[in-house]
Copies of this chain bind each other. A is one copy, B any other.
């Protein structure tokens, strides 16, 4: 007899979705096989009929995540395509703070390769040399990824919380110890209307400007 009536049967897919939901809700550290089982109304060991082990669950999360990234489209020009791709990646990673962790421990999965291939393709069709495309991807990826990692480690979600937190941190140290930090805190971050996310876009535009210039120069730069 089923533990709970009307429960749909388990499947690898349902396991992974539940894992993502659990990690979203309670954090990646709370994702244990036992809790995951509970979530699905099942004992921990039952999960092993559908996934080989916990590593496979984590790899599966990486796949789910990559599937959420919009691949670039060719109908808007490379610059807009890259911008959208970067913005979407950042938004996805912000939605799932466990994203960077699972991505950085997964090897080159098909989803990852597919994603990469489509970005390279978009750039190549817009006139980027192989080398310049490599440079562009490396730069954009590092930026987005690094941003996301730092964002994921910040313990706040809204600008208000940021201001509040900044204030709390700043009470912990004297303005003599870290004068420049103090200045930045009071004159920028705690100002009403300050939006941390704006910085992401600013940096992204700077990077895109640089790439546009490098593309115009026709070479690989250097």
Q: What DSSP secondary structure best describes chain A's contact surface?
A: helix
How far is the CB of A21 from the nearest CB of chain B, in Å?
23
At the interface, yes or no: A127 with Cβ under 8 Å from chain B? Answer: no
For residue A103, which residue of chain B has the nearest CB?
A: B153
In this complex, the member of A116, A133, A149, A205 whose beta carbon has the largest number of chain B beta carbons within 10 angstroms is: A149
Q: List which A126-179 residues lie within 8 A (CB) of chain B.
A: 130-131, 133-135, 138-139, 141-150, 152-153, 169, 173, 177-179
Chain A contacts to B: CB under 8 angstroms: 100, 104-105, 108, 110, 113-114, 116-118, 120-121, 124, 130-131, 133-135, 138-139, 141-150, 152-153, 169, 173, 177-181, 183-184, 187-189, 199-200, 202-203, 205-207, 209-211, 213-214, 221-222
How far is the CB of A146 from the nearest CB of chain B, in Å?
3
